[in-house]
Amino acid sequence: MSAFSEANFKGLNYESFRPHYPSSFYELLHKYVTTSKDGANADHAEKVIDLGCGTGISTYPLLNIANTVIGVDLSQRMVDTANDLIEERCKELQISPSRIKFITGDAETFIESSNDEIRKDGVDLITCAQCLHWFGSYPSFFKACHQLLKSGGTLAYWYYRDPIVVSISDYAKGNDTELISRINRLYLKYVYEDEAYLGPYWENPGRDILYNMYRDINKRIPEDLFTDNIIMTYVPKPGLYPGDEDLKLVKKDISIVDFVHYIETFSAYHSYKDKTGDTENILEKFKQEATRGTEIDVKDPILTIIWHTGYTFMKKK
């Protein structure tokens, strides 16, 4: 997966327009990590590694679970953005910057050969947020995680894809049903279906694995190495909100412009732009098509969107 590493990839846009994971999800993970089968519950974990950490969206909340967290990412751009934000973030959270560190590197190489200091006492938790579908060989990945984890340690991965618009605020009532289905149809057309837009620019097999909500990874979990697996998936529908056990990614009061900014963070959009120059300015077209024939301004904060999500937790046997 190279698009996130390219010099013109905008790490700060990624940080602003990608969804951030809710504290309710980290509470589920915390409970899972600190509960052991024999009932001996610890309050806190010692060490966590967040693979494919990007700008650190998934990494900081892990400090509620463990004393120290190391984020690892292949993209120097992402790690530079993460490092630029450390001082400000740690000040906001009132924590010592010594508890968190970001390193550039390939996830698998890192876990297979992580240095003696990390390997010495083992790791309590390894996380992969919205990235495992880009990694290479799953049998060797699971094996390396198993070796690095402490006995009873946790491997957790999660993901999201393709938000749908589920409602439109009162301001735009009268347009709602038509507008909801119009924007959802446009999203599919621009992101997958129309060969002239982003469809051909997704990198595979990563995108297919994500599209199929990690089915192909989950079926490779080695039963001899891991136990107590929890596998959850959530598929949004208008009127059906995620429950307490789901990874809830919901954004309210966002505008069509914000929605388009989210599409701009896709690796496929980045590749499409690189290869075509985007002379058609497709996301401008998206905004025009979305609002055509309505009074709505593309900057009106009227949309509620919910993502497809899923997660898998397991313990080292």
Ligand X SMILES: C[S@@+](CC[C@H](N)C(=O)[O-])C[C@H]1O[C@@H](n2cnc3c(N)ncnc32)[C@H](O)[C@@H]1O
Q: Which of 32, 60, 135, 142 binds ligand X (CB under 6 A)?
A: 135
x/- mask, ligand X, residues 94-113, rule CB under 6 A, reads ------------xx------
* Residue 57 binding ligand X, by CB under 6 A: yes
Among all chains, which residue has been given the structure tokens 């390894």? 126
Report in angstroms how near the CB of residue 4 gets to ligand X at its nearest: 4
User: If you write DSSP's letter for every residue of 27-81 in order, what string do you get?
Assistant: HHHHHHHH--TTS---S-EEEEEEET-TTTTTTGGGGGTEEEEEEEES-HHHHHH
Q: How many residues bind ligand X (CB under 6 A)?
A: 21
Residue nearest to ligand X (CB): 54
Taking CB under 6 A as the binding criterion, the range among 49-57, 117-125, 246-254, 286-294 that sits at the site for ligand X is 49-57
Question: Alpha helix locations (H) across the chain?
Answer: 11-17, 23-34, 76-93, 107-113, 116-121, 138-148, 176-188, 206-211, 215-218, 256-264, 267-276, 282-291
Residue of 74, 149, 198, 209 interacting with ligand X (CB under 6 A): 74
Please report how close the Cβ of residue 291 comes to ligand X at its closest, in angstroms.
29
- 150/12 Cα distance (integer angstroms): 35
* Segment lying near ligand X (by CB under 6 A), choices 53-61, 82-90, 245-253, 295-303: 53-61
Angle at 85 between CA 82 and CA 91, to 5 degrees: 135
Q: How far is the CB of 267 from ligand X (least distance, A)?
A: 8
What does the angle CA 130 – CA 136 – CA 138 come to, to the nearest 5 degrees? 85
Residue 156 or 254: the one with the smaller Cβ distance to ligand X is 156
Contact positions toward ligand X, by CB under 6 A?
1, 4, 18, 51-54, 57-58, 72-75, 78, 106-107, 129-131, 134-135
